[in-house]
Structure 1
Amino acid sequence: MLDITTDAAGRFADVARSMAERGHDPAKVAHFLIQSLFYMFAEDIGLLPKRLFERVITKRQGDPAKLAVSMAEMFQAMRTGGDFLLEDIAYFNGGLFEHVEVVELIPGEIDTLLAASRMDWSAIEPSILGTLFEPGLDPKVRAPLGANYTDPGTIMKLVRPVVVEPLERKWETAKARIAPLVEKYHAGGKGSQKAGQEAQALFLGYLERLKNFRVLDPACGSGNFLYLSRRALKDLEHRANPEAEALGLHRQLTIETSPYNLRGIEINAYAAEFARVTVWIGEIQWMLKHGYDCRRNPILARLDHIENWDALLNEDGSEAEWPAVDAIVGNPPFHSSATSACAANSAPRQLRGSAPATTAGCLGAQTSCCTGSRRPGRRSRPSAARQSASSRRTRSAVEQTGRCWTALSRAPGSSGRGAMSRG
């Protein structure tokens, strides 16, 4: 899977580089190529007519202007669903196809994109997608994506103790209570029906906990930590169902964990969009792999909770408010002079009135205070009572993640700059 993605990355990087050299706006190039990438993926997993992208390019490759018009019509059909070249196009949108502005291609770029369309994108590895266009992008656009691929195993060194293990312990505790209740139910007699109901309620309560579990990456880049956190939650739910059935309970027919479990903050608009695409592709792949249909009408749920703003400061200089979550994932701080100064400057701050300021500064350093940027727009503050409850919940998540970062940085073989490069 990684080899497929690496090959694809090279092809898209070539197109991005060529367009950048021709003077096209990097954000416009990135948006167009993200749409093209997602179209190829959706086509190869059967959500769009087979080889339609390739057919369009082949038919119009001698006339770049007409090709741009045809591609725009194709993407626009995905916005609401409809017909394109006598083919039925499903309703996708989710925000990805809200704005369509195709970059006109030159012959060499057309050939490269045509070759990419002939690849099998169904097994693309979402966690490396952030490197696809990096070589051809402006440094300001490229920086949030990171220079290095962080493999899933490394990312899971943080996701597992912060997200997976606490929930696994909850399920083990629930199962220990369920077993005698099911035994009492099968024995019959007084109280047996109530015991059966209590057993089923414990199982459903665990599933509800998974459904409502919230994970935040406050500097999410292209979304690798969010993608793997969502996958971990779905794996937990998927495992719990047959285990509950083996205990004698009724398994659930649907999977309730979803991209809505995730919260992301990213100051770079392009990276935030790429994070959404990473999560969308990972979600669809997981559902189809495990025998579930993906959502429909629209296929892509809006991921407005992966947001584009400064995780540290509001534009008026006040402290930004993070959403209430159960776990915080992401990269540990990088030990450079810039980030060290940034963390030092942030030291007096208190995030949500509770989280240690140095932790907050390090979490956001890569995408906000070290760049001197400010998020667009303004966010309203919650009520005092809600802020207090959110503070306790978020502080617990920050402290848990901080302990994991410390353990990873002290592990044998650690470089001292944290166990993970930017995801």
Structure 2
Amino acid sequence: MNAVEIEAAVSDLVLLPFSSDDFPYAFLQAFGNKETTLKRLRSGATNKSDVGGVLQTNNIHIAVAQPGEVTKTLAVLKDSPATTKAKAQFILASDGIDFEAEDINSGETVACAYTDFPNHFGFFLSLAGITTVKQIRDSSFDIRATSRLNRLYIELLKDNPEWGSAERRPDMNHFMARLIFCFFAEDTDIFDGSGLFTATIEKMSERDSSNTHEVISEIFRAMNTKIADRAAAALPRWADTFPYVNGGLFSGSVDVPRFSKIARSYLLHIGHLDWTKINPDIFGSMIQAVTDDEERGELGMHYTSVPNILKVLNPLFLDDLRAKLAEAGDNPRTLLNLRKRLSKIRVFDPACGSGNFLVIAYKQLREIENTINERRGELKRKSDIPLTNFRGIELRDFPAEIARLALIIAEYQCDLLYRGQQEALAEFLPLDSQNWITCGNALQIDWLSLWAPIGTGVKLVADDLFQTPLAQVEIDFENEGGETYICGNPPYLGSTWQSAEQKAELQAIFENRTKSWKSLDYVAGWFMKAADYGTKTNAVTAFVSTNSICQGQQVPILWPAIFSTGHAISFAHTSFKWANLASHNAGVTVVIVGISNQINLRRRLTSVGIDGEIVQKTTEHINAYLVSGNDIDLKKMASPINGVTPMHRGDSAIDGGGLLLEPIEAHHFLAADEISFNEFVRPYLGSEELINGKLRYCLWIEDAAIERAKQSDFIATRLAKVVDMRSGSSKAQTKNAADWPHRFGEIRHQSSTYTIAVPRVSSENRDYLPVGLVLGGTIIGDRNFALYDAPLWNMALIASRLHWVWIGTVCVRMRTDFSYSNTLGWNTFPVPKLTDKNKADLTRCAEDILLAREAHFPASIADLYDPETMPADLKAAHERNDETLERIYIGRCFRNDTERLEKLFELYTNMIATPAKTAKAKKGTPV
């Protein structure tokens, strides 16, 4: 369950009659506990409460109190030995009237009326495995409002299906934006009278909802009618009390969908929420999901945390502004010029969605401006920062509209906070009719048409030119917008998932710049457009992106094109999880990359260490792999340059299911013909078999034995399947291979005593790459790579953290998983010259890893390398391996992955400068 689903379940719970017997179980069910879990608790099998309540080990101890004894019951729960023994995080007591709970770990408490406890649902979210608890508690209102609006939206479409059509969907979305404004306005005194909108609907619309749409329509018409025109408009008296709003929000059609009784009830419930708590930072991205059919199925997972957005905005420009504020101190002239600078800063998000980045940037600048005003003694001063300096492009009309609305709300909230209610209200209405959020395709629009450069200079008005610019008496920024900062979180979309139209957009941008542009992620288009924009303006850019644009084959395709414009990487944040509201903090792995053609000598590189610590360093250069060091052109190599054993791709059956055998098929064959089985069946190892310890087999028939093999009816039938599949192929090589169906389509197998096998694709969630040692007779499938009879120290290299970091950086990603490459990852892996002792030490380390695995037989690699449950002896064996190998590299252990990469790239640069002579890898037999 995600946070929105949990909030909805909790809200439904309080609407039911309170039951002393059922409440604890209903509460747990609302937080995602399955019926089987609840059944065991009810039976007493897992309920260890010693006070007659319900105790779930490691989670919560719940007790229903006698009327008026909630506080006393909570104290009993806290003193309970069972609570301590079960390591319960929470205790909770309620009598159906009052509600109290405590987080034992933090000491935080909740005390409220029972009917109000859904307002505190975020307090308990760790019960559901959701780790973004603080962010959710900070935005609990937004989640509640989103849940309610979603219910209303679905109910309205049920009764007005035509409003869900492509033609009318914009009308429906615009209606929702109007509602959001009305709910906010009635709770913040923008409307004269608390709860005016909701109260008017409740009073003037019939209980059977027959005229609800007419009442709302008249309210909307009033808000689009100037006061001077009210008499001619013949508005009902009850609608005439609403102010003139306009600003485009209520212009045009005032048509409203019809309401059922249920929809009217939902509307009134939404209106009774406290909309003063709306957080425009994130609310837009959540409500956006309500109106999108594809996204609604994941409602509640569309959440961009403010800390994550600040990882972009702080190094992009906010840190510099705060530093200038600190330097200014209380100097009035310096503060004045800094304030003037703030008023000219432009923030541009060319994939703005519902405006998260723009809203947060606006609020941060207002905070700095307010500090300036306080230091200058100019409290309650009208802001010089216009909303129109925060511009965006968004493909869809509704998110674009929500972005503008979110900025309007943010402006009012800032005025309220920094200037007071009277000043905020006096200047809020009517809304400005300017539209600074463009609805369109950012990759097709000329960004200069939205914000053209107007000069680049600064006029210094003072006589003393030795003063720093901000210390002048006054500065006149010729550039209408001053500095321009481009930021955002554009759509990623790997090359496989792009539509024909999206491919055409990338082609228009990259075709004359770089080869192999078809392999680029969609987000690459935004980086290139930003670099082009920066050649004609003083813009600096930072985008969130999937880390794949800084890994593998995309690096030599994308980054030379960007660097050719004069841009370089000004700052970066290496891979981290961009989290959402789902259980267990699911999220995509991203990087943040800042580019500029106005870079200072020092650049900031931020990374996350193995234990989660944030590591920051300044450096003279950041290359496209987001490593401190020179730019590197890392390319595939046909053979190793590092003295390691050649690595081959496994054998590809291309068999139509004829040559590969499931265990049950092999069992039946063995029972029917043991002699043929023993001669022609071999163990087969694909990546699934290697990682998860599964069994599989294959037919392996030498050319000289084909006639003997065909005497087996089982084998003859299987070979016929191979012939059918290959002869029906459109590929000439595969069609020709139908003449020898007993052979794998691609064969690279070598006779060996043993083989080291490495999966081509594996999860990034493990701290080490999976690698296995198998008997030589095993056929290694093409989902693996194989090293035949390689010295065992090769396995120590593959199993190291150093190699994990290298592969994760230079190889292509399969979504977020590692996609291993022998030519790009193994053949290029920088290895110092190893002495015989080095090799012996590493061999022992590999043996220790294998022995530690063997001690836990039959656990699979997947079982053993789960980071949460990795056995201590296996972890210790890997740590010894890492220490042994890293001492070979630098005489000590590396401090973090960033340092590992820096050393590896340094070694790589030296190695390709004086390449070693290496044997050519053997080629397979392609089909």
- Per-residue deviation, residues 73-117 of structure 1 (Å, max 9, x unmatched): 111222234475175322222111113221111111110001111
Cα distance, 1:147 vs. partner? Answer: 4.9
**Equivalent residue number for residue 52 of structure 1:** 196
Does the 8 Å contact 2:312/2:544 carry over to 1?
A: no
Does the 8 Å contact 2:222/2:239 carry over to 1?
A: no
CA distance in 2, matches of 1:101, 1:44: 24
CA distance in 2, matches of 1:277, 1:244: 31
CA distance in 2, matches of 1:37, 1:17: 16
CA distance in 2, matches of 1:207, 1:364: 34
CA distance in 1, matches of 2:486, 2:533: 18
Does the 8 Å contact 2:344/2:389 carry over to 1?
A: yes
**Equivalent residue number for residue 590 of structure 2:** 417
**Equivalent residue number for residue 131 of structure 1:** 286
Closer/same/farther in 2, CA of residues 93 and 323 from structure 1, 3 Å limit: same
Instruction: Map 1:156-175 to 2 at 5 A.
Output: 156-175=310-329
- Per-residue deviation, residues 265-295 of structure 1 (Å, max 9, x unmatched): 1111111101111111111112112234226
CA distance in 1, matches of 2:300, 2:451: 25
Does the 8 Å contact 1:311/1:322 carry over to 2?
A: no
Does the 8 Å contact 1:215/1:263 carry over to 2?
A: yes
Does the 8 Å contact 1:61/1:110 carry over to 2?
A: no
CA distance in 1, matches of 2:408, 2:214: 26
Greater relative contact order, per chain length (Cα 8 Å cut-off, separation 6+): 1
2:412 maps to a residue whose letter is I
Matched, 1:42 2:185: yes
Instruction: Map 1:55-204 to 2 at 5 A.
Output: 55-59=199-203, 60-82=205-227, 84-85=237-238, 88-99=241-252, 100-126=254-280, 127-132=282-287, 134-135=289-290, 137-139=292-294, 147-175=301-329, 179=331, 200=333, 202-204=334-336
Cα distance, 1:400 vs. partner? Answer: 12
**Equivalent residue number for residue 858 of structure 2:** none
**Equivalent residue number for residue 234 of structure 1:** 366
**Equivalent residue number for residue 5 of structure 1:** 142
Closer/same/farther in 2, CA of residues 32 and 415 from structure 1, 3 Å limit: closer
C-alpha RMSD over aligned residues: 4.0
1:302 maps to a residue whose letter is S
Matched, 1:17 2:150: no
Q: Secondary structure at the match of 1:219?
A: coil
User: Which residue of 344, 354, 379 corresponds with 1:212?
Assistant: 344
Q: Secondary structure at the match of 1:417?
A: strand
Does the 8 Å contact 1:223/1:274 carry over to 2?
A: yes
Closer/same/farther in 2, CA of residues 142 and 296 from structure 1, 3 Å limit: farther
Cα distance, 1:416 vs. partner? Answer: 3.1
User: Which residue of 380, 390, 412 corresponds with 1:262?
Assistant: 390
Does the 8 Å contact 1:54/1:118 carry over to 2?
A: yes
2:181 maps to a residue whose letter is F
**Equivalent residue number for residue 401 of structure 2:** 273
With 162-171 and 338-347 compared, the bigger mean Cα shift is at 338-347
**Equivalent residue number for residue 29 of structure 1:** 172
CA distance in 2, matches of 1:10, 1:400: 28
Does the 8 Å contact 1:332/1:363 carry over to 2?
A: no
Q: Secondary structure at the match of 1:313?
A: coil
2:415 maps to a residue whose letter is M
Matched, 1:349 2:509: yes
Does the 8 Å contact 1:61/1:107 carry over to 2?
A: no
TM-score by length of 2: 0.35
Closer/same/farther in 2, CA of residues 340 and 296 from structure 1, 3 Å limit: same
- Per-residue deviation, residues 157-209 of structure 1 (Å, max 9, x unmatched): 1112213112223334444xx75xxxxxxxxxxxxxxxxxxx53x33221111
2:436 maps to a residue whose letter is H
Which of the two has greater strand per residue? 2
Closer/same/farther in 2, CA of residues 207 and 306 from structure 1, 3 Å limit: same
TM-score by length of 1: 0.73
Q: Secondary structure at the match of 2:391?
A: strand
Q: Secondary structure at the match of 1:80?
A: coil
CA distance in 2, matches of 1:204, 1:333: 39
2:438 maps to a residue whose letter is E
CA distance in 1, matches of 2:225, 2:374: 37
Cα distance, 1:135 vs. partner? Answer: 4.2
Cα distance, 1:242 vs. partner? Answer: 2.2
Cα distance, 1:252 vs. partner? Answer: 7.8
CA distance in 1, matches of 2:578, 2:305: 18
Does the 8 Å contact 2:351/2:442 carry over to 1?
A: yes
CA distance in 1, matches of 2:213, 2:408: 25
Gaps in structure 1 of 5+ consecutive residues: 180-198, 370-386
Higher CA-based Rg: 2
CA distance in 1, matches of 2:434, 2:447: 24
With 320-329 and 401-410 compared, the bigger mean Cα shift is at 401-410
Cα distance, 1:323 vs. partner? Answer: 2.1
1:52 maps to a residue whose letter is L
Aligned pair count reads: 365
2:489 maps to a residue whose letter is N
Does the 8 Å contact 2:359/2:407 carry over to 1?
A: yes
Cα distance, 1:328 vs. partner? Answer: 1.0
CA distance in 1, matches of 2:328, 2:389: 22
Cα distance, 1:298 vs. partner? Answer: 3.2
CA distance in 1, matches of 2:260, 2:247: 30
Q: Secondary structure at the match of 1:392?
A: coil
CA distance in 2, matches of 1:150, 1:281: 18
Does the 8 Å contact 2:347/2:390 carry over to 1?
A: yes
Which of the two has greater helix per residue? 1
Q: Secondary structure at the match of 1:391?
A: coil
- Per-residue deviation, residues 220-240 of structure 1 (Å, max 9, x unmatched): 111111110110110110112
Closer/same/farther in 2, CA of residues 69 and 302 from structure 1, 3 Å limit: same
- Per-residue deviation, residues 287-342 of structure 1 (Å, max 9, x unmatched): 1122342263734223411111111115xxx8874525610111155363457795
**Equivalent residue number for residue 362 of structure 1:** 523
Closer/same/farther in 2, CA of residues 308 and 415 from structure 1, 3 Å limit: closer
CA distance in 2, matches of 1:16, 1:399: 33
1:362 maps to a residue whose letter is V
**Equivalent residue number for residue 298 of structure 1:** 429
Gaps in structure 2 of 5+ consecutive residues: 1-137, 231-236, 453-482, 546-567, 580-586, 594-927
CA distance in 2, matches of 1:165, 1:278: 24
Cα distance, 1:347 vs. partner? Answer: 6.7
Closer/same/farther in 2, CA of residues 288 and 297 from structure 1, 3 Å limit: closer
Closer/same/farther in 2, CA of residues 331 and 400 from structure 1, 3 Å limit: closer
Matched, 1:222 2:333: no
Cα distance, 1:388 vs. partner? Answer: 8.5
Does the 8 Å contact 2:221/2:250 carry over to 1?
A: yes
Closer/same/farther in 2, CA of residues 87 and 340 from structure 1, 3 Å limit: closer
